[in-house]
């Protein structure tokens, strides 16, 4: 069961969804992540970056210790836990809640024991058969992300997202994860063509009938480079545009590397939209 302090953070975070667009800051304690790999391997650097993201206005921080970029070398759960332990021991004492980005149930369990309140699974509870039970037993929230083994340019991408979510939600229900603790992520950049990434963001509103918060993580993804006109991959400009387009289409949460810039852009966007 979740400790009282973590439960309070979980409930406050879940209650805040929908009141305004929320920002999930990204911390990668990896040597090989696609954008910031190697920058925060040292424990002190990682903790300092968390403090900076909190000061910049993030609502939750997602911490990952294994790169999910295409072609990244897999690591075992012991190495993943070793990268996380010292960082989590400190940052879970901060006021802002923490999320764990992992596909391994053992890693999720270890992070939850530190006080993490959300499991962000890029395989949507479908890779590790123990993951849903770990989430349920810890009373954690979960972000279920759409994924595929490989790209298929002829795919009806929204249809595929729906089929995937339905399988994941059935797993969650069977494990006893309550609906109000589930977030859906369309998986931008995961086994999707550039066109499919754009289409998923544009058609995000078609997924509102699930009645669950939608999260979009387009931050610094490679497909943005072909859209900015300069060919530069993963630009901040393209990221901000994609994040704002996602919020306009119905995203409740954006998962980003650049917290300060997104906080400022969302303040302007929300001021214009709300009045």
pLDDT of residue 212: 98
The structural domains of the chain, ordered by start, are 4-269 (3.20.20.20)
Write down the pLDDT at residue 41.
63
> With 90 as the cut, is the pLDDT of residue 38 above it?
no
Q: At what angle do helices 43-56 and 259-274 cross, to 10 degrees?
A: 20
Kindly name the residue from 9, 10, 192, 221 that is annotated as catalytic: 221
pLDDT tops 60 at residue 37 = no
73 tagged catalytic = no
For residues 120 and 158, what is the distance between their CA atoms, to the nearest angstrom? Answer: 21
When pLDDT is averaged across residues 175-184 and rounded to a whole number, the result is: 98
The active-site residue, picked from 110, 181, 255, 267, is 255
> For residue 244, what pLDDT is reported?
97
Which helix (H) or strand (E) segment holds residue 4: the answer is: helix 4-16
Give this prediction's pTM: 0.93
Percent of the chain clearing pLDDT 70 (strictly above): 91
Confidence of residue 73 (pLDDT cuts 50, 70, 90): confident
Helix, strand, or coil here: 164?
A: helix
Secondary structure element (H or E) that encloses residue 134, with its range: helix 131-138
Tokens of 164: 């995937």
* C-beta contacts of 71-76 below 8 A and 24+ residues apart: 72/32, 72/33, 73/32
Q: Would you put residue 267 in left (φ > 0), alpha (ψ -120 to 50) or beta?
A: alpha
Confidence at residue 127, expressed as pLDDT on a 0 to 100 scale: 97
Q: With a cut of 80, say whether residue 66 has pLDDT above it.
A: yes
Cα–Cα distance list, 147 to 38, 60, 79, 272 (Å): 25, 22, 24, 34
Average pLDDT of every residue of the chain: 92
| Six token digits for residue 83 | 């990268």
Q: What is the pLDDT at residue 39?
A: 65
CA angle, 80 then 23 then 87, to 5°: 30
Q: What is the pLDDT of residues 74-125, one digit of tens each?
A: 888 999 999 999 999 999 999 999 999 999 999 999 999 999 999 999 999 9
Q: Is the pLDDT of residue 173 over 80?
A: yes
Higher model confidence: residue 129 or residue 227? 129
Structure confidence by residue, pLDDT tens digits, 246-269: 999 999 999 999 999 999 999 999
Phi, psi (rounded to 5 degrees) for 255: -105, 115
Question: What average pLDDT does this structure show over 32-40?
Answer: 54
Of the listed ranges 160-169, 195-204, 233-242, 258-267, the least confidently predicted one is 233-242
**Per-residue burial over 103-120, b = 16 or more CB atoms within 10 Å of its CB, e = otherwise:** bbbbbbbbbbebbbbbbb
Tell me the pLDDT band of 231, cut-offs 50, 70 and 90.
Answer: low
**pLDDT, average across residues 227-240:** 73
Active site residue 255: yes
Read off the pLDDT of residues 184-225 as tens digits, 9 standing for 90 and up: 999 999 999 999 999 999 999 999 999 999 999 999 888 886
Select the more confidently predicted residue: 181 or 71: 181
How does residue 31 score in pLDDT terms, banded at 50, 70 and 90?
A: confident
Do 67 and 28 form a contact (C-beta atoms < 8 A)?
yes
Token representation of residue 16? 């805040």
């Amino acid at each position: 069961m979740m400790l009282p302090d973590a439960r309070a953070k979980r409930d406050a975070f879940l209650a805040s969804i929908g009141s305004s667009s929320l920002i999930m800051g990204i911390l990668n304690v990896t040597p090989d992540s696609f954008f910031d790999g190697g920058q925060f391997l040292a424990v002190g650097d990682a903790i300092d970056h968390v403090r900076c993201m909190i000061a910049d206005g993030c609502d939750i921080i997602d911490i990952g210790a294994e790169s999910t970029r295409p072609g990244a070398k897999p690591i075992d759960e012991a190495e993943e836990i070793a990268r996380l332990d010292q960082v989590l021991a400190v940052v879970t004492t901060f006021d802002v809640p923490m999320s764990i980005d992992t596909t391994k149930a053992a890693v999720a369990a270890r992070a939850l024991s530190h006080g993490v309140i959300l499991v962000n699974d890029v395989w949507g509870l479908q890779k590790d058969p123990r993951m849903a039970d770990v989430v349920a037993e810890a009373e954690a929230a979960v972000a279920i992300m759409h994924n595929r083994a490989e790209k298929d340019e002829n795919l009806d991408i929204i249809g595929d997202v729906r089929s995937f979510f339905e399988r994941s939600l059935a797993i969650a229900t069977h494990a006893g994860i309550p609906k109000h603790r589930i977030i859906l992520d369309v998986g931008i950049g995961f086994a999707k063509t550039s066109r499919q990434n754009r289409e998923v963001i544009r058609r995000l509103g078609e997924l509102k009938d699930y009645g669950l918060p939608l999260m979009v993580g387009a931050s610094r993804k490679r497909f943005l480079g072909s859209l900015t006109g300069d060919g530069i991959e993963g630009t901040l400009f393209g990221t901000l545009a994609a994040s704002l387009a996602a919020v306009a289409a119905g995203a409740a949460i954006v998962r980003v590397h650049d917290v300060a810039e997104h906080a400022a852009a969302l303040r302007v966007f929300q001021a214009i939209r709300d009045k």
